[in-house]
Amino acid sequence: LQGALELKSQLIELLRKGGFELSKWSSNHSSLLDTTQNPPDSSPLHLGPEDQTIKILGLQWDSNRDNFTYHVEAPDLAFTKRSILSSIARIFDPLGYLSPVVCYAKIILQLCWQAQVDWDQRVPDSVATKWRSFVDQLPLIDHVTIPRFIPASDAEHLQIIGFCDASEQAYSAMIYLRSVSPMGTNIS
């Protein structure tokens, strides 16, 4: 806890030197919240059991469970290249957890380009069917939870595991951390 308090103090001071007054602070540890001095024109951001989720960088952070979740609004079902691109651009994923989802949507957009349709022209039925299926499944992202914390301090064994794959449509690489401790095995 002491290290976190020192880091918090250093961060607040660094931001202040840059001209940024920190107006809200949140933590899943109440001691870090209790020591925060908020500016007079803001209120502290305390999370109770009824309000445990904070939106940050397109993610939602559940501080009680210490998980990240996403919420993506299903786009309107318009079948033009312009509307498909616009819908893809609305999926904000700065940490890249939704990359496989976004990649599939971009593959559908590539099909629009290959079909040589204009921006506001209806896409071919084969592309429209794939896009409809994608849009119908998009709300399933709301059920994905990603642990924020990866326990490794008490690990007896750590492994970094990497995978990669490629096809004619896309390529991908992933890295996982596997930690084995007396409490069990965790894979990030």
Residue that has been written with the tokens 């750590």 in this structure:
158
Q: What pLDDT shows up at residue 37? A: 57
The mean of the pLDDT values for the chain is 85
Q: What pLDDT shows up at residue 151? A: 73
Which residue did the predictor score with more confidence, 114 or 151? 114
User: What integer is the mean pLDDT of 148-166?
Assistant: 87
Q: What pLDDT shows up at residue 80? A: 96
Q: Within 13 Å of residue 160, how many CA atoms lie on the same side as its CB?
A: 2
Question: Nearest to residue 143, comparing CAs of 52, 55, 69, 53?
Answer: 69
Query: pLDDT digit string (tens) for 13-67?
Result: 999 999 988 777 777 777 777 665 555 555 545 544 556 788 877 789 888 888 9
Question: Nearest to residue 24, comparing CAs of 34, 36, 35?
Answer: 36
Question: Nearest to residue 70, comparing CAs of 172, 178, 142?
Answer: 142
Quick check: 153 and 182 in contact, CB under 8 A? Answer: no
Q: How confident is the model at residue 126 (pLDDT cuts 50, 70, 90)?
A: very high
| The model's pTM | 0.76
Q: What pLDDT shows up at residue 47? A: 47
pLDDT reading at 113 higher than 60: yes
Q: Which residues make beta-bridge pairs with 173?
A: 164
